[in-house]
Amino acid sequence: MRIEPFLTEQFFAEYEFSARHLLASSDCETMSVGELLRLSGSSLEELAGLTLGYTESQGDPRLRSQISQMYSDVSSEDIVVLTSPVEGIYLAMQTLLEPEDEVIALRPAYDALNNVARHLCREVLAWNLIPGKDRWELDFDQLESMIGPQTRMLVVNFPHNPTGYVPSISEFDRLISLARKNNVWLFCDEIYRGLEFEPTIPSAADLYEKSIVLSGLSKTYGLPGLRSGWLVIRNEALRDELINWKHYTTICPAGPTEFLARKALLVKEKLAERSKAIIRKNLKLCEAFFARFPEHFTWRRPLAGSVAFVEVNLAKIGFESATAHCHHLAKNHGIVLLPGKCLGFNDTFVRLGLGRTGFQEALEAYAAVITDGESWNP
């Protein structure tokens, strides 16, 4: 049985490592191994002394203890360390879903959050974010009406990629209540957690016993090259079954990754603040950019996270789709924006990435293309 094309990663594979201006990256500015070690008070000699043997399948107990302290009601035994964050999506869904099940998944979304479930079960119903006048919204009455006897799992992502949406505390409480009332598993991707600018919702892991929470170091902490992630699973039986599936995939995390992850978590607040400072600066640049081009775009400021989802006026720019626009920009101008179609949404949207220090230069390059009529004649 074949799985759907992974459109987001295919698009990045085509352009990410050759284009000069990356305007769509979802991660935050990274650093070298040496910089991380110095920031955490460690040394290259300590890393050099690491032996390259097998590690524990569930993860280094020291790392799991550090991760558990990021939550209020989680123990180190509840943590499963992953070889990459996306592995957690596959493992959780492979462990839980059967062919007769239904899943309700937030959309737009990172491809794997929908496509893996669609590969495994009968149907994935889309709970679509709604583009309001100034911000994104969710209809919780609609969600309640969608839940049926075959619903096995709800799949959400907060802070949300690509819109930057975060529910209010009362909305999140309602989501948890709906899951509990209907005895539904809640898969919550919290990979952007820590990039909020105002008091925010707690982790689903601290609120709901049938939650499966995904997180890692790629986005908030700017360390995607570590490929470090984890699942929080409070249900022991599910956790054991998932670890059995892990034996069939990656067996255990990489020792060097776990070592560097432990160092990163020693300074996690500094890393997160570094990322948020970059995002704050880039959001100001966005406000000025979209005020300059009000006829070309509809801007809805994200509430949190390192990405934004922007509506493009296709008639104004002269392309039949956002996908065509994005391919043209990448091929002819070295500017990478991600089409909304890759994320399962209308092909009139593009994703912006706000976490890189090269954002201003890239945005200026895009502005130059917009003001040059040549670009709108593919």
Examine residue 224 and say whether the peptide bond preceding it is cis (omega within 30 degrees of 0). no
The residue to which tokens 């390192």 are assigned:
306
pLDDT for the residue numbered 38: 97
Q: Where are the domains of the chain?
A: 7-31+270-376, 43-266
Q: With beta carbons less than 8 A apart as the criterion, state whether 378 and 336 touch.
A: no
Q: How far is C-alpha 261 from the geometric centre of its chain's CA atoms?
A: 18
DSSP-derived pairing of the beta strands 229-233 and 211-216: antiparallel
Q: Is the pLDDT of residue 294 over 70?
A: yes
218 DSSP 8-state letter: S
pLDDT for the residue numbered 373: 60
Opening angle at CA 117, ends 90 and 194, nearest 5:
60
Residue 96: both structure tokens together: 């839980």
pLDDT, tens digit (0-9, with 9 covering 90-100), for 133-168: 999 999 999 999 999 999 999 999 999 999 999 999
**Band (374; pLDDT cuts 50, 70, 90):** very low
pLDDT for the residue numbered 372: 83
Q: Is the pLDDT of residue 105 over 70?
A: yes
| CATH architecture, domain 7-31+270-376 | Alpha-Beta Complex (3.90)
Average pLDDT, the chain: 96
**Band (375; pLDDT cuts 50, 70, 90):** very low
| CATH architecture, domain 43-266 | 3-Layer(aba) Sandwich (3.40)
Cα separation, 80 vs 239, in Å, equals 8
